[in-house]
Chains A and B, each alone.
Chain A
Amino acid sequence: MLRYDSTSSSAGSSSGSLSSSSSSSKPPQQDIDGLLAGAGYKVRSSELRQVAQRLERLETAMGNSPADFSQLASDAILYNPSDLACWVDSLLTEFAEPPPTCSSDFIVDPVNNQTVVNSAWTAAEPHTPQVHQNITYDEQQSLDNQLTVVTAMEEDSGIRLVHMLMTCAECVQSGDLSLATSLIDDMQGLLTHVNTVCGIGKVAGHFIDALSRRIFQGMGGGSVNGGSAFENEILYHHFYEACPYLKFAHFTANQAILEAFDGHDCVHVVDFNLMHGLQWPALIQALALRPGGPPLLRLTGIGPPSPDGRDSLREIGLRLAELARSVNVRFAFRGVAASRLEDVKPWMLQVNPKEAVAVNSIMQLHRLLGCEQTRNSPIDTVLSWIRGLNPKIMTVVEQEANHNQPGFLDRFTEALYYYSTMFDSLEACRIQPEKALAEIYIQREIGNVVSCEGSARVERHEPLAKWRRRLSGAGFRALRLGSNAFKQASMLLTLFSAEGYSVEENEGCLSLGWHSSPLIAASAWQAVPAWDNHMSSS
């Protein structure tokens, strides 16, 4: 949970952002040393002695050849540092046998491979500005000064606004619509006293709008996401440019997919939401550079049907094919047009049993969490057929938020603080119109979370902890993302983003956040072999 102090700097904003996290202490598992658990390490009491012995061995080995040890640090890929026994072991094995030349690093050296990364994005979208305007120091200063100094009165108004938003949400939940309506009026008035260019004022405005829509359109759900698929793609693209969340998603997923495809000659990526195919040039490039040569790559991109007879999926496919040709990667594309992910049937994907399959879901699974928790709800159906494909890997990136709670007030509160944090992170973006359009993108999400219900409410975000349970229950096990993926993500941030973003590792999953609040989480999964699954080959 993160709050901002508004009076300390001239460009300050007081956006109180927070995610009310659940208790940080999990119920003690049997035999896990409780004190070490408090320090973030899971070690069984019964294994303490063994772990100690291994630490000693490692230390002795280290003492004998210190030079090798610092090399080890650069080369070794470490996983899940919480599991002490495991990572000490992996260090011991690395130390005993030097690692094979690692073929699967995605961005080995940001300087040398910058061309790889840049041209990947250029290839995807010719009309995207390739170089962001560098703002000089002086321009930056005057920009900062243009943002109003937040006065004490504004800070007060900001706090009052938050109070009122909560009260209004409470009224909506309890059905007191007349009070809710008058609060809306008051809040609109208060907005004039608050800086709506940044901080709490900006995000409050969007929430007031969303509440308004909810109250005046009734519970049937508004047409907030009335934008066309084309519009949505544009907004998505600008959100991609303005802040690192989607780039992080793509990089992290690609790294995991690349590793999973190691040693396979026929690979097939199923992308649950192709959009402009922004994710794929980089993977194609990386496969092209694979030692031993690239595999045959098939990409199946799922996306909404285009209304005006254009086959936008095919157009993207053609562009990607062009890129693949230019780097000598044998490539085949297939578009699957579906308005909803649950309408897709596995046969449409034409998966060949001999190929290694990667299923890629960037912020799509939550859309399947319909309000009815019936046995064959869309999420269960889809997870079941994914499992049937026996993918080498399923990459899942989701918003790290709890926006699917049944109670409206709880949902509203969570969303208020989640999106405040996200908006605040967007302040760091200086390029237009990317920033403005990214804000609209986020605004639409807010609208859906707050003012829609039933099947119209598709933004049903759930936190990683819940997804872990759900996916484990559906027969998947987590593949751990390791220190190399972490390093890639950190380097990405240094290259492309402002200070303030942070990557964290949590039991094999990575999350990207603004300051200490995680906003998006990436994980990788594999189907647990089922004895009665006709299609599986172990």
Chain B
Amino acid sequence: MAGSNEVNLNECKMVVPLNTWVLISSFKLAYNLLRRPDGTFNRHLAEFLDRKVPANLNPVDGVFSFDVLIDRATGLLCRIYRPATAEEPEPNIVELEKPVVGDVVPVIIFFHGGSFAHSSANSAIYDTLCRRLVGICKAVVVSVNYRRAPENRYPCAYDDGWTAFKWVNSRSWLQSRKDSKVHIYLAGDSSGGNIAHHVAARAVESGIDVLGNILLNPMFGGQERTESEKRLDGKYFVTLRDRDWYWRAFLPEGENRDHPACNPFGPNGRSLEGIKFPKSLVVVAGLDLIQDWQLAYVEGLRKAGKEVKLLYMEQATIGFYLLPNNNHFHTVMDEISEFVSSDC
């Protein structure tokens, strides 16, 4: 870890509220327990420690949820969040897949974070986040419980994302009345943001429209050590060593961080010029050590002529969007809301 421990601990305590600090620190602590130096992962302990919540058909703050198994072969589950309507304040258990009501109903396919190894669609923090997205975007949110590393390396997470995408796209009950099509947005934080990018790329390749990508602190990287990585290593909850561990766990064995999954616009990447890639909203936290890679990603999109809005939150650390107790949180939620509603 770069820098002395004490200094680092004090620094990050000054930029986040105390409860956020406790939350993210306890994740950090737990995650340190789970990663083994030999590259294996203590999955049993991970599942024991992860705080999960069940789906809930009874609307809470106007949102109800239910789980659907969309691929038996891989056990791929998705949790679907829907707004309770005035006509149907208590959803009928038999009619969960009632057609959405509206000329334009955004459907956000959400990929949770966790650096490809941690968390699930039913993790409490992500359940909370998805419920919020329903409210602010007046959308249906589909949270994908993709397979995780190191047990399931690249391309499993992307394949699961693609399976979920095709499933969502083929649901007649998710179609907007205006054009009988499903209005899909892809969203994700950390590794989820990375997955969103790759699923979007695959979608456009297959000729299916994606209306927008929302990437929150997306997880990208590369072989080179960037200035932000050197400067911020170990300072705000995250170390280069753990980033490296997660890439080693996710990427195919023997591959380095210039693999296009990790570095889409790097030496092995591919330009998106001439491809109908959706508009992107990319949120970068100013205290995230991988920001140089995230900014390079935004640059890559711009250079290829793709519409991208960058939200650079200077004093934000990773995970700022998990608790609604800071300004960055509210700014970002407003921007997301606007990004999605501008489709109407």
Contacts and interface: CB of A to CB of B under 8 A. Distances in A.
Contact of B67 (A20, A43, A51, A515): A515
Interface in B65-112: 66-73, 75, 77, 79, 93-94, 96-97
Contacts of B51: 39-41, 81-82
B52 A40 contact: yes
B178 interface: no
A159 interface: yes
Nearest to A488: B44
Interface stretch (B16-24, B179-187, B267-275, B336-344): B16-24
Given A8-B167, A21-B57, A162-B94, A39 B124 contact: yes
Contact of A516 (B13, B48, B54, B322): B54
Interface in B268-318: none
Contacts of B124: 38-40
Interface string A159-179: 100110010000000000000
Contacts of B6: 60
Interface stretch (B30-38, B189-197, B207-215, B218-226): B30-38
Contacts of B19: 33, 35-36, 43, 48
Nearest to B66: A1
A40 B22 CA distance: 13
B70 A5 contact: yes
A417 B9 contact: no
B67 A487 contact: no
A48 B19 CA distance: 7
A374 interface: no
Q: Count chain B CB atoms within 10 A of each CB in A3, A16, A49, A78 and give the residue with the most.
A: A3
A9 B73 contact: yes
B94 A159 contact: yes
Contacts of B60: 23-25
Contacts of A166: 94
B68 A417 contact: no
Interface residues of A, number: 68
B338 to A, nearest CB: 25
Contacts of A505: 48
A72 B75 CA distance: 32
Nearest to B70: A5
A318 interface: no
Contact of A3 (B26, B48, B58, B69): B69
Nearest to B325: A35
B324 interface: yes
B15 interface: no
Interface in A32-72: 33, 35-36, 38-41, 43, 48-49, 51-52, 55-56, 58-60, 62-63, 69-70, 72
A40 B53 contact: yes
Given A1-B57, A55-B29, A490 B42 contact: no
B25 A21 contact: no
A39 B323 contact: yes
Interface stretch (A212-220, A329-337, A387-395, A496-504): A496-504
B322 A3 contact: no
A483 B69 contact: no
Given A5-B167, A41-B26, A18 B66 contact: yes
Contact of A84 (B21, B26, B53): B26
Contacts of B29: 55, 58-59, 62, 88, 91
Instruction: Summarize B's interface: helix, strand, loop or mixed.
Output: mixed
A486 interface: yes
A483 to B, nearest CB: 5
Interface string A479-491: 0000100110011
Contact of A39 (B23, B66, B73): B23
Contacts of B58: 20-23
Contacts of A417: 93
Given A8-B72, A9-B71, A24 B56 contact: yes
A41 B33 CA distance: 18
B48 A78 contact: yes
A5 B170 CA distance: 12
A21 B54 contact: yes
Interface string A179-208: 000000000000000000000000000000
A4 interface: yes
B204 interface: no
B18 A490 contact: no
Given A24-B56, A36-B22, A490-B44, A516 B33 contact: no
Given A3-B68, A38-B128, A63 B1 contact: yes
A286 B44 CA distance: 22
A28 to B, nearest CB: 14
Q: Count chain A CB atoms within 10 A of each CB in B54, B67, B68 and give the residue with the most.
A: B54
Nearest to B241: A66
Given A4-B68, A8-B167, A38-B124, A81 B56 contact: no
A429 to B, nearest CB: 15
Nearest to A166: B94
9 tightest Cβ-Cβ pairs between the two chains A and B: A40-B51, A40-B124, A73-B33, A487-B44, A486-B48, A490-B44, A1-B66, A35-B323, A55-B25
Interface of A: 1-5, 8-9, 11-12, 16, 18, 20-25, 33, 35-36, 38-41, 43, 48-49, 51-52, 55-56, 58-60, 62-63, 69-70, 72-74, 78, 81-82, 84, 88, 91, 159, 162-163, 166, 413, 417, 483, 486-487, 490-491, 499-500, 502-505, 515-518
21 contacts: A8-B167, A18-B93, A20-B93, A21-B56, A35-B325, A39-B23, A52-B21, A52-B22, A60-B9, A70-B36, A72-B33, A78-B49, A81-B51, A159-B94, A417-B93, A483-B48, A490-B43, A502-B47, A515-B67, A516-B67, A516-B122
Given A1-B66, A58-B29, 7 more contacts: A3-B69, A20-B57, A23-B56, A39-B124, A78-B45, A84-B22, A515-B67
